[in-house]
Structure 1
Amino acid sequence: MRLMPHAGLVSAAALACALSAHASFAQSGTPPVADPTATASSATTPADEIIVTGSRIRHSPLDQPSPVTFIDKADIDRTGLSSIADVLQRMPSAGGGLNSKNNSSGNLGNPQDGGGVGAGTSEIDLRYLQSKRTLVMVDSLRFVNASSASGVPGSVDLNSIPQAAIERVEVLQDGASAIYGSDAISGVVNIITKTKQKGLEVSLQHGLFREGDGFTRNYDASYGFSIPSAGTEVVFGGSYVQQKPVFRADRAFALFSHPFISSCDSSCSSATPLGRFIVGDNDLTLKSAVGGRPAFDPLDPTGAGSDFKDFSNADRYNTAPLNYLLTPYKRYSAFASLTQPLGGDIKFSSKFFFNRRESANQAAPLPLFIGPDSGNGNLLDTITIDGSNPYNPFGTLSAGTAGTPANYSFVARRLVENGPRHYSQTVDSYYGTATLSGQFQLLGHDWFWDLNGVYGTSHARQTFTGNVNAAHVQEALGPIADCTGDCVPLNLFGGAGSITPAMLNYIAFTEHDRSMQRIWDGTANLSGSLFDLPAGPVGVAFGYEHRDLKGSFTPDPIIQAGLGADIPAQATAGQYNSDEVYGELSVPILKDKPFFQMLNGSFAARYSNYSTGSSKVTLKGGGDWKPVQDVVLRGTYAQGFRAPSIGELFGSLSRFDAPVDDPCNGLNAPGFNSTVRQNCIANGAPSSGDFQQQGSQLPVLTGGNDRLKPETSRSWVGGGVYSASWARDWARTLTLEVNYYNIRVKDAIGAIDPATLLDRCAQTADALSCSAIHRSASGQITQIVGTLQNISSIKTDGLDVNFTYRSPTGPYGAVGLTWLNTFTFKYDEVSPTADGSSTVKRAGTESGTQGYPKYKSNATFDWSLGQFTASITGRYIAAIHEATGDFAGHEMGRRLYGDIQLLWDTKLGDRAFNFAVGVNNIAGTAPPACYSCSLANYDPAVYDLPSQFFYARVGVKL
């Protein structure tokens, strides 16, 4: 059931809505109002009854029972951003999500959420509960999940929705599984698209950072017309968006793998262009690039007669400069919308989207690790480098066999000759809907029905340059007699430049990966009123939904054979369907009584049955009470659930390399904790020698599990709105809204954090944790295994406080203030141990991939006079503390960002023009330094890039 109001009809009814503010807080100041021409089912709907996200029963906007934030086109334009995901991620209630500041190339693998090497999507995460627990819809219908060519994501890529088609966004910050089904645990993002437009609208925007990089261009165009005699409405258009990269080399804070350093420390890579060679008891590197076969004296490995010296931190390789801080992309999109009456009270409507994204990620040249302590999990761990290799100065380096110990730990060589690892994605998304809707009279009331069909598909292709074939590496390292045909002996020992183009031609290959997702969805909805009570009609809605989901990820055949030298992965494919029915009831209990100007109750239930064998009933109940004219109080209790995604159910094991410290480092050092030392030795760390972790990252394996059951949740949301009607002489709008939320997720799907597993094993010898950790004969960690399980629960609560003011228009214009605040009181993750459970308190901390500030705030002040409008926006993020690593407790200080925009609206004849210029992050504020963050020394899910971003935009309506 859908009704899509048009922004152009926000008039007297909208003003009344703003004054009363009984609907949820609108970022733009007003919720939408009804458009009687939007659909057939609205033809006789009173102008004050519409569908707003959170209920399928028509309500007056003044009586909206759930907290909804409305973000319209003006709000989007005010940000100067070229992605709707970036706009939404600025909401104080948003936890972030993937965006173009996440350059997770190389070592993040192919996790089940699809956020690995092929990342290029942009998502929305509400309440820090991850994007997979936020339902994204378009016009109240489901959208196809993303494809990334690196897994099977369980979330929607917001950038696959044509931006020129967006009229507004409604964000429900309440559990809604009983209304909409799976995924709506933390809330719902409903993107409302254009269905009516007169003439041509064009917008052109350019922007760039002060340094001259990160250039963006955003071109939108749409055209609409009507045929009054037939009732036809047509809108079509398209967008082109381009963003150029920003490199870490061009920002001082990101020049190295740790902040505030000017040369490498232990956080830099041990795979260097000169090579690292752990042979016997020696840890060596070349003194310089010598070419050919270097000299090695086994009696005096670092003496004058040897080309080698002891390896130290000063020899490590800085991987940062070639990585992106801001990833490049291009997006081409088109859309079309048709509304056509079919006679009587029946109407047909349809829409079509196409979007192509061309994006890229980049990492430093491939670090090639060979040997038993490499942790590749494939052929490279077992390679023996034969003494007949013409460049090998050490003699035969054996990886060991049964009964024969290895005589080397690993050889690490950064393949700078092969250039950076570059991942380029092309993602094509298609989405179409068809709707028949109508109305009829029953029991003396209007009833509305609609039938909807949805088809969406997303296909991703990824090309990766910079990888090598492990089988060819083995042949090229000898025995030399086996290096025949096209094989060229490989020189890993001569330093930078010693690997020739001929050598690379044999071992290197271009990797091609692909993935797809598809949705078929059919829904039928019926709503109306059963009968009248003294306080008003009893509203009901019923519906049925059948949904079929399919997805797959197909790595390159060489990768599936286990022969890649980068992150290994296996193919994933799966499909399931669901059948669901729901019912909703709205009961007006009292009206126009003392202390009960309004009292309503609402109830909803949904039954979902999945072909994977799971089924679930979810319930929701709530009420809203208006004791006096200016106050509305409301509350809801909601059960929720999330069915496992295709990747979580069917995903094959995949490795990613996590920046985690082994707590067993230095276990023989003076003062080392004796209990930890004993537990480390029991887990396989060597009892002799001063054991040290050889690399800054550890290999972690995760995989899907077809026995997963749905996550469940329960949430309480309560609050109210105060609207100062007494202030109308000097305030067109003066409202204060407060909402408290409390959400608990049970059976949360995930793998235990590897750092947590290591700490539990070392500190308490927890059997479950220790069994997941695999070490080589020398004690180095070769795998940390974490198959996905329903292993944890999440508890979070907080408070949203929103204030809005708008003055009447006077001789000096009009001013307005919109102030949104979110306080996170608690965010606890509870996971099992062998003897109970462990709780990690996240609020006020940084996890290394996600910050959890206890307070975030956005405030926008604007002043308009005639054709001119000026606005300034402040965005505040409270301080947080790092929770893990050597710098646990380090404070990441609070940040305040300021944005300004100047807008001029004018007319030349019958043509309307608008011109805007703006600056985001006007002070060039840098993000706080983060030592545990795995990307670029800061948290891109929470903070802006440093430097000012300037933009200019021109728009025209014809």
Structure 2
Amino acid sequence: MIRTTNKVSTWGAASALAVFGGTVTGPVAAADNVSMTGSPMEEVSVTASRIQREGFTAPTPTTVLDGELLIKSGATNIGDALSRMPSFQSDQNASTNTLGGAAGRRYANLRNLGSQRTLVLQDGQRLPPSALTGQTDLNTVPQILIDRVDVVTGGASAQWGSDAVAGVVNMVTKKRYDGFETDVSYGMSNYGDNREKRVAALYGTSFADDRAHFTIGSEWVDNEGVGNMYTRDWGREEWGLVSNTGYGTNGLPRTLTAPHVHRNVLVAAGIISTGPLAGTTFNSDGSSRPFVYGSPNGSGAMSGGEGYGLGDGVARRLSVPVERVVTQARLGFELTPDIEVFGQANYGYVHVNTWGPSAGDNAPITIRSGNPFIPDELQSRMDTLGLTSFGLNRFAREDIYGNGYGTSTEIDNYTRNQIYTLGVNGRTGGWTWDGYAQFARSAVKTRGTGYRINANFARSVDAVLDGNGNVVCRSTLTNPTDGCVPVNLFGLGSVTREAFEYYSGSQRTETIYDRWVVAANVSGEPFSTWAGEASVAAGVEYREDDAELIQNDPIALARGYIFGNAQPLSGSDTVREGYIETALPLLKDKPFAESLELNAAVRETNYRNSGSVTTWKVGLTDALNSSVRLRTSFSRDIRAPNLSELYTSVSSSNVNVINPENGANLTTRTETSGNAALTPEKAETFTAGIVLTPQAVPGLKFAVDYYDIDIEDVISSVSTQQVVDFCYAGAASFCALITRLSEQSAVVRAPLLNLAGLKVKGFDTELGYGFELDSLSSALAGRLDVNYFLTYQPDIIVDNGSSSTNRAGDMGTASTPYGGPKLKWSGYFTYSLNELSATLGVRYVGNGKKNVMYTAQDIDDNSVKSATYVSLALGYDLPAWRDTAEVQLYANVQNLFDKAPPFDPTSSEGNPYNATFHDVIGRTFMVGFRVKP
């Protein structure tokens, strides 16, 4: 497909930066045809606009990543590379989600707005979603074929469609390549884990008098992952939060930070949590003894004492193993010198294996008196006290199969992506045009073993002696063929394989997402003004999405497992849209306007489910002179509800809320679900910036851009209490969600709603400067390139429909996916001399708070420290091979000083780290070689 986009020059220093550790680099904007370092560079098209025009400069900031040099660096995943760029946030990677169907996926998330609001393209075409929630897993992108990546950091829905609220990531691949190229690398961490092997190959050839061209690229990457947090020194410190049970009397806040924080309720050997026997735990042989508590001893957690750390730390990986194979093949044929037809096929396979805790019983398990597994001395105490039962809390860390992980719950995710495209592109009478038809399928199979079946477990726990003195389930006395196997829950290693396999089962689901697309685009320069030629681009597109989650397990359908229980889903949507864009020169060679241009676009989109919506954009660029350029844009952008939000089935639970009418408890059955009546989210985006290329300092480029994105009708869940409160406040639409059964009970529907608001503001700063060192002194040799990228985001304002909170600086999961440090930056220093290059990189993640809602009375230390990561990359071209091939040896070290992550607990899991912002793996090494013609 011929991209209808403007042209800019890449930047020598940016290319050098890509040699370092997969760092995202490139020009600070879709900028003038000016060398960033003083070296002439070839022109490339970028994605900021649909207009193709020499010298046009887009009003929207755009960064370019050189994909070829990224491959040389040994960075094996474009998702990891993007996450090091300050404008991105890594809310989904191999370390952030280590359990469940989304484990190991890598999503692009610009502006901390959530990955579902960043549009991901390949060669200007939408990549198929890897999940029902609409995001694309970057694991499925063929990195060796990437020519470069364009990152448009601003609203672009008018040009590219729904989801481009925060911006666009467009991976531009190599269409014509001659010869054979290979890249082989191996890496591991300083601790001997995180081992990764990679083999990639690219081949291209022309035939039929150079009218036909075939290109194929493939790569295999196998990363073995990392074990739990106890594989690291900082993890063994077990930092955590403990509630202060003496709050109000001891002068300390409600929550305290402390090392060696352990659970005091969920104990692997079991602990009695109710009645006069509370505090009794068990030895490995099942005998009882007092539990050793730490101090302070809070609700659910304590500092010191016995047990293990919070956050299921024993049973969760720091990084999950990911194996992927990605291939893309393209065949193009020129019917005439100006018309090409082509066919392209993409295939991606990703396998993620992970494990996790079998179960955790926050609610006590009832053990009845007379259970033959109760230790004799404990049964005697029960008899003396007249107890008929007690409550046992136990964290199920059954290592039934001897895998050494302390768990027998294992999950495998298999993702297969297929994309088939037929297209044509060409030029006719000064107009450039293209069209294509495409079918894409993403199929995800999830297989999990070791899930507890609630009903079977309840029967297995209730053990008795039969008439022959045999230990059996009570249910077996009345139903001898029920197959129940009694379980002993007292002590470590007490659960037999037979019992575990009776009350545990496997869950299997398959999700299939199909997409059909037909699209056509045209662009040209139909007329001229006094200031130059005007450009126009237009296009139409039709998409049809079909998704299905297949669940045939009757236990899961009845929600009978302790977790999991994915429910069937089936839904579809169709989209018809058309757009037009223009670039109109307004002034030329005037005072304060050497070149003034207007860029405007409008798109009309019709969704079968959500109706019609109009998006638009208008922008100005003003080149005051050859050294100073101003730019600004304003746009209306959208995100349409995804199929999961539209069609997720009803899930019921019992919830107690406060009745605002009288302050009494109201018992409700809450029904959460998707909502077929959802409408698209709407955003207004404003950007303004300045680009400086001072002629007095050749090779220097500096830019600052301000952005303000305001989203309304944000699709969000609503709590039962909010539904009740909003109704009481007079909102009739919420009263319609409540069915009163009596004065004390009700049924409350809580579907997803267009309720919330989200607003972010900030600044992006980028600087590049490169020069030959002999310009400073004839005694110096080589070249130095300095590059700097900074994002400052002081406002992330979340409105949940009843209150508004600025989550900027919030480093905990209370704000997910919207929190994050206010300040992030990356700086790189590249020295090159003949065949040798070396790059030193510094990446800074600013400080913040564990929760911005906390006050001094809520926690004793609410701070999260900043972190600085240093990296080093080396490359050497072998001169002996120069006559036959280009051979490069390379090596890089990430996290050179093995910086440990700061204490940043996540409320959902209690982990003492937050892999969204910080490196949890530590120092890693990689070596490799690359051969190309």
Q: TM-score, length-normalised on structure 1? A: 0.80
- Alpha-carbon distance, 1:80 to partner: 4.0
Contact 2:443/2:512 (8 A) holds in 1: yes
Q: Distance in 1 between matches of 2:622 and 2:160?
A: 25
Pairing partner for 1:892 from 864, 868, 873: 864
Q: Distance in 1 between matches of 2:217 and 2:707?
A: 39
Partner of 1:673: none
- The equivalences for 1:198-209 within 5 A come to 198-209=178-189
Helix, strand or coil: the match of 2:159? helix
Q: Distance in 1 between matches of 2:612 and 2:63?
A: 31
Q: Distance in 2 between matches of 1:252 and 1:656?
A: 41
Partner of 1:873: 841
Q: Distance in 1 between matches of 2:490 and 2:24?
A: 65
Q: Distance in 1 between matches of 2:593 and 2:32?
A: 27
Helix, strand or coil: the match of 2:800? strand
Pairing partner for 1:197 from 170, 173, 177: 177
Helix, strand or coil: the match of 1:88? helix
Pairing partner for 1:642 from 636, 639, 654: 639
Helix, strand or coil: the match of 2:158? helix
Contact 2:86/2:826 (8 A) holds in 1: yes
Q: Distance in 2 between matches of 1:950 and 1:656?
A: 48
Confirm whether residue 845 of structure 1 aligns to residue 845 of structure 2: no
Distance 1:678 1:529, change over 3 A: closer
Contact 1:641/1:712 (8 A) holds in 2: yes
Contact 1:461/1:513 (8 A) holds in 2: yes
Choose 711-720 or 560-569, whichever is displaced more.
Answer: 560-569
Contact 2:270/2:392 (8 A) holds in 1: no
Contact 2:786/2:827 (8 A) holds in 1: yes
Distance 1:473 1:26, change over 3 A: closer
Q: Distance in 1 between matches of 2:83 and 2:277?
A: 50
Helix, strand or coil: the match of 2:89? strand
- Alpha-carbon distance, 1:436 to partner: 0.7
Contact 1:527/1:540 (8 A) holds in 2: yes
- Alpha-carbon distance, 1:882 to partner: 1.3
Confirm whether residue 594 of structure 1 aligns to residue 558 of structure 2: no
Pairing partner for 1:351 from 325, 329, 344: 344
- Alpha-carbon distance, 1:420 to partner: 3.2
Contact 2:31/2:57 (8 A) holds in 1: no
- Alpha-carbon distance, 1:480 to partner: 3.5
- Alpha-carbon distance, 1:679 to partner: 12
Partner of 2:251: none
Helix, strand or coil: the match of 1:212? coil
Pairing partner for 2:484 from 471, 483, 488: 488
Q: Distance in 2 between matches of 1:841 and 1:563?
A: 39
Q: Distance in 2 between matches of 1:680 and 1:937?
A: 41
Partner of 2:432: 448
What is the identity, as a one-letter code, of the residue corresponding to 1:826?
D
Q: Distance in 1 between matches of 2:563 and 2:418?
A: 32
Confirm whether residue 466 of structure 1 aligns to residue 435 of structure 2: no
Q: Distance in 1 between matches of 2:307 and 2:490?
A: 17
Distance 1:655 1:903, change over 3 A: farther
Confirm whether residue 414 of structure 1 aligns to residue 388 of structure 2: no
Distance 1:825 1:929, change over 3 A: same
Contact 1:118/1:361 (8 A) holds in 2: no
Q: Distance in 2 between matches of 1:904 and 1:234?
A: 31
Contact 1:208/1:214 (8 A) holds in 2: yes
For residues 606-626 of structure 1, give each alpha carbon's deviation from its aligned partner in whole angstroms, at most 9, with x where no partner exists: 111111042101111011111
- Number of aligned residue pairs: 840
For residues 275-321 of structure 1, give each alpha carbon's deviation from its aligned partner in whole angstroms, at most 9, with x where no partner exists: 34455676454443455xx899xxxx99xxxxxxx999556554312
What is the identity, as a one-letter code, of the residue corresponding to 2:25?
Q
Helix, strand or coil: the match of 2:904? coil
Pairing partner for 2:163 from 163, 166, 183: 183
Q: Distance in 1 between matches of 2:767 and 2:432?
A: 36
- The equivalences for 1:272-671 within 5 A come to 272-278=267-273, 283=278, 285-291=280-286, 314=305, 318=309, 319-343=312-336, 345-368=338-361, 390-391=372-373, 412=394, 414=396, 416-418=398-400, 419-441=407-429, 446-476=430-460, 477=462, 478-485=474-481, 487-555=483-551, 557=553, 558-653=555-650
Q: TM-score, length-normalised on structure 2? A: 0.82
- The unaligned stretches of length 5 or more in structure 1 are 20-24, 36-46, 106-115, 303-309, 375-383, 396-405, 665-675, 686-698, 774-778
- Alpha-carbon distance, 1:162 to partner: 1.5
- Alpha-carbon distance, 1:29 to partner: 5.1
Partner of 1:956: 931
- Alpha-carbon distance, 1:546 to partner: 0.4
Contact 1:654/1:701 (8 A) holds in 2: yes
Q: Distance in 2 between matches of 1:917 and 1:727?
A: 33
Partner of 1:792: 756
For residues 456-507 of structure 1, give each alpha carbon's deviation from its aligned partner in whole angstroms, at most 9, with x where no partner exists: 1111111212212223234433334245326234234433333222222322
Helix, strand or coil: the match of 1:634? strand
Distance 1:342 1:460, change over 3 A: same
Q: Distance in 1 between matches of 2:756 and 2:363?
A: 36
Partner of 2:125: 141
For residues 14-68 of structure 1, give each alpha carbon's deviation from its aligned partner in whole angstroms, at most 9, with x where no partner exists: 679999xxxxx99245999999xxxxxxxxxxx9986421211102256233211
Contact 2:14/2:27 (8 A) holds in 1: yes
Distance 1:493 1:869, change over 3 A: closer
Contact 1:569/1:653 (8 A) holds in 2: no
Contact 2:13/2:768 (8 A) holds in 1: no
Partner of 1:233: 213
Q: Distance in 2 between matches of 1:26 and 1:717?
A: 22
Q: Distance in 1 between matches of 2:565 and 2:652?
A: 6
Contact 2:641/2:679 (8 A) holds in 1: yes
Contact 1:103/1:324 (8 A) holds in 2: no
Confirm whether residue 927 of structure 1 aligns to residue 925 of structure 2: no
- The equivalences for 1:798-837 within 5 A come to 798-808=762-772, 810=774, 812-833=781-802
Partner of 1:157: 137
Pairing partner for 1:739 from 695, 702, 705: 705
Name the Cα RMSD after superposition: 4.2
Q: Distance in 2 between matches of 1:316 and 1:874?
A: 39
- The unaligned stretches of length 5 or more in structure 2 are 16-22, 34-40, 242-256, 292-298, 380-387, 401-406, 463-473, 739-743, 775-779
Pairing partner for 1:99 from 93, 105, 109: 93
Contact 2:13/2:786 (8 A) holds in 1: no
For residues 903-948 of structure 1, give each alpha carbon's deviation from its aligned partner in whole angstroms, at most 9, with x where no partner exists: 1123412211001111111111111101345453222111112521
- Alpha-carbon distance, 1:209 to partner: 0.9
Distance 1:898 1:537, change over 3 A: same
What is the identity, as a one-letter code, of the residue corresponding to 2:704?
V
- Alpha-carbon distance, 1:601 to partner: 0.6
Confirm whether residue 861 of structure 1 aligns to residue 829 of structure 2: yes
Q: Distance in 2 between matches of 1:199 and 1:861?
A: 33
- Alpha-carbon distance, 1:129 to partner: 0.1
Q: Distance in 2 between matches of 1:492 and 1:585?
A: 74
For residues 247-266 of structure 1, give each alpha carbon's deviation from its aligned partner in whole angstroms, at most 9, with x where no partner exists: 2220133344728856444x
Pairing partner for 1:911 from 876, 885, 888: 885
Helix, strand or coil: the match of 2:133? coil
- Alpha-carbon distance, 1:98 to partner: 0.4
Contact 1:366/1:414 (8 A) holds in 2: yes
Choose 447-456 or 477-486, whichever is displaced more.
Answer: 477-486
What is the identity, as a one-letter code, of the residue corresponding to 1:645?
N
Helix, strand or coil: the match of 2:500? helix
Pairing partner for 1:945 from 917, 920, 923: 920
The percentage of aligned residue pairs carrying the same residue is 25
